[in-house]
Amino acid sequence: MTKTLEFADLLRLIDERSTAFRAAVAAAPSLDAQVPTCPEWTLFDLVQHLGTVHRRWAAIVAAGPADSRATPAASEVPREREALLAWSAESTRQLLGALREFGPDRGCWTWWADSQSPQTSGAVARHQVQEATVHTYDAQITVGDPQPLPEEAAVDGVEEFVFTCNATTSAWPHDPATVDYHATEGRSWRLELSAAGARATPIPASAPIPADTAYASARATAGELVLFLYGRTYVEPLKCEGEQRLFDQLIAWDPSA
């Protein structure tokens, strides 16, 4: 596996993206605004979601190795904007506090047990960078001011997604296939899909196409790839080659089903 961001950088990015998230919320005309990229949610719902996620993972990291998910203490979510933003900031402080206290190597429960990412607080921090980054984009687009994803978060985010969210030991329910993602920043990753599951690897951009498998590739900035992988955009911003149906199959696939 290629070198990932340092733990200190992950904590810095969680803090920076969460701060940018709250800045977007503070600029919104109303907390009742619908979030275009999460149409079932209002902006209030989005703040509640991210804050709850931060508090939940703080509790999980603090609990250490476990067979089930720890549950944080109940917290009332205020409806008034200033109080809501303070609650959100406290949620982020709890997450960062737990991560700083226990460091990157502490074992803990995660939902990605059969992925290629470890069940550690360091992997939690890496995933929470993406949680905060993508939801900041959600908040920004809600107020009409979407910003490009920060490059360091986005480049790491493509690899984090394929190693954590795509990689699995559950059988791929279609013919064997290979999907490549190429970031214009110079990094590429390959996802190999078969009856043995899904396996992700970083690859040279010029890697040969595997024989006897269905194949598709997508090329874009890392930020555009992250937004595609998290369902914020479809294929329009991407330069795609090969069998585009593979992207539809990946989007529809639920390995836990």
b/e sequence 183-205, b meaning 16+ C-beta within 10 Å: beeebbbbbbbeeebbbbbeeee
Query: What count of other Cβ atoms lies within 10 Å of the Cβ of residue 2?
Result: 9
**Per-residue pLDDT at 166:** 96
* pLDDT for 1: 43
Which residue(s) pair with 197 in the sheet? 194
Tokens at 217, concatenated: 């590739």
What is the reported pTM? 0.95
Tell me, what's the pLDDT at 3?
63
pLDDT value at residue 212? 85
Angle (CA) 231 20 102, round 5°: 90
> What pLDDT score does 205 carry?
81
- pLDDT mean values, one per 10 residues, the chain (257 residues): 82 98 97 97 98 98 95 92 98 98 98 97 98 98 96 98 97 96 96 97 90 93 97 88 94 89
